Amino acid sequence: MIFSLVLFALIVVAALVLVLQPLRGGVPADPDAPERGRLTAERERLYAELASLSDESRRPDLERRAALTLRALDALPPAPPPRERSGRTRTLALSGLTVAALVTVAGAVTLVPRWQLASLGAAEAQDVRDTLALPGLRRRAEATGDKGAYLAWGRAAFDSAQYSQAVTAYASALRLDARQPEALRRLGILLLTRPDQAGTQTGDQTPSPEDTRQAFRLIQAAAQLAPREPESQLLLGFALARFGQDADALAALERYRTLDPKGRDADELITAIRARRNEGDLGLKIYAANCASCHGPNGGGGLGPSLRASNLSRGALRSVTVNGKGAMPAYPNLKPDELNALLDLMERWQKEGS
């Protein structure tokens, strides 16, 4: 990237020289010379800083400032040409204009997208990069027939939500090597959730029962091949929940959170499963919906402390629950029967211990 920016700067300078050389003499002095000189110096300083940049986090800001400087230079009226160069031919001028056009095109496809990406979040910018890279990744995979190339294409397509391409890429990779956990689990979940991707639950997009079973087998195989990869347990949990196997789904999703403590992709599903399983116990239902994600499925602790090891009184438990404390949020909107059922549950766990 640094080499490209340096080359870009050299081309800009050469284009300016070529365009200015053939212009006729006999013109007044340049009234914008001071501002032009300041902007040109600023542009060269930014290019030099980009060329020697060691901290990549500063690159978007420097590129944005370089863009603004170039824009300000472009907004100035053309500078009068030097008198001593007034005899050059029209051909040289046309050559300069051609180079300038090429520079504009080069900037549009290299530097300008980076200015635009700088305004996006990290995840959004990566999705844009993945989408832009798809044609090249696909050509490389189809030209080489390489397993790694198909995986790279599938990964970029999956991450940028181009699911039809992801299915094609991962299926091709599995034909070359059937023991690839990433391709197995991602192809399985794509086949299993095909109606969700299409935004419809009816019509030709609905997978047949056999396709559904095959998709589930792919996800299971991936979890067996790579049981310690968080995504294997996450997608297995989603698949099990889809088939109504709540207990096994909850176990897989808890393993996912153990393998990736910062991962939050399973929180909503874990809460929904716990709520379904605890319909007959109001205290457990309230706990599953509001507390289990931090204090663990059975009150044994997780991100938050163990409720079984707590020695707080009922009044203290009520105060912390309603008003919050430290990192714990407040739950002031619980109904009296819900709050009492939750307090009964926590007191019961205190007696049971760990």
CATH number of the structural domain spanning residue 298: 1.10.760.10
- Residue 215 belongs to some domain of the structure: no
- Residue 39 belongs to some domain of the structure: yes
- Residue 318 belongs to some domain of the structure: yes
Res. 244 pLDDT band, cuts 50 70 90: confident
Res. 84 pLDDT band, cuts 50 70 90: very low
**Contact criterion met (CB below 8 Å) for 151 and 182:** yes
Structure tokens at 48: 């030099």
* Domain interval for residue 299: 281-354
pLDDT at residue 75, rounded to an integer: 79
pLDDT at 16 over 80: no
pLDDT at residue 225, rounded to an integer: 94
Structure tokens at 117: 């990406």
**Contact criterion met (CB below 8 Å) for 276 and 282:** no
- Residue 158 belongs to some domain of the structure: no
Q: Can you state the percent helix, strand and coil of the chain, rounding each to 5?
A: 70, 0, 30
**Contact criterion met (CB below 8 Å) for 266 and 253:** yes
What DSSP line would sit under 158-221, residue for residue?
HHTT-HHHHHHHHHHHHHH-S--HHHHHHHHHHHHTHHHHHT-SSGGGSPPHHHHHHHHHHHHH
Domain boundary pick from 118, 150, 184: 118
**C-alpha span between 20 and 193 (Å, rounded):** 61
190 exposed, middle or buried (CB, 10 Å; 0-12, 13-18, 19+)? Answer: buried
Q: Which residue type, as a one-letter code, is found at position 140?
A: R
The whole-chain average pLDDT of the chain stands at 78
- Residue 340 belongs to some domain of the structure: yes
pLDDT at residue 171, rounded to an integer: 93
**What domain count does the chain have?**
2
- Residue 53 belongs to some domain of the structure: yes
Mean pLDDT for 206-219 is 82
Domain boundary pick from 64, 98, 118: 118
**C-alpha span between 230 and 239 (Å, rounded):** 14
Res. 300 pLDDT band, cuts 50 70 90: confident
Domain boundary pick from 62, 92, 118: 118
182-191 pLDDT tens trace: 999 999 999 8
What is the value of pTM for the model shown? 0.49
pLDDT at residue 199, rounded to an integer: 45
- Residue 85 belongs to some domain of the structure: yes
**Contact criterion met (CB below 8 Å) for 316 and 322:** no
28-76 pLDDT tens trace: 567 888 888 888 888 888 778 877 777 777 777 777 787 788 778 777 7
Res. 196 pLDDT band, cuts 50 70 90: low
Mean pLDDT for 276-300 is 77
Structure tokens at 200: 């419809």
- Residue 104 belongs to some domain of the structure: yes
pLDDT at residue 29, rounded to an integer: 66
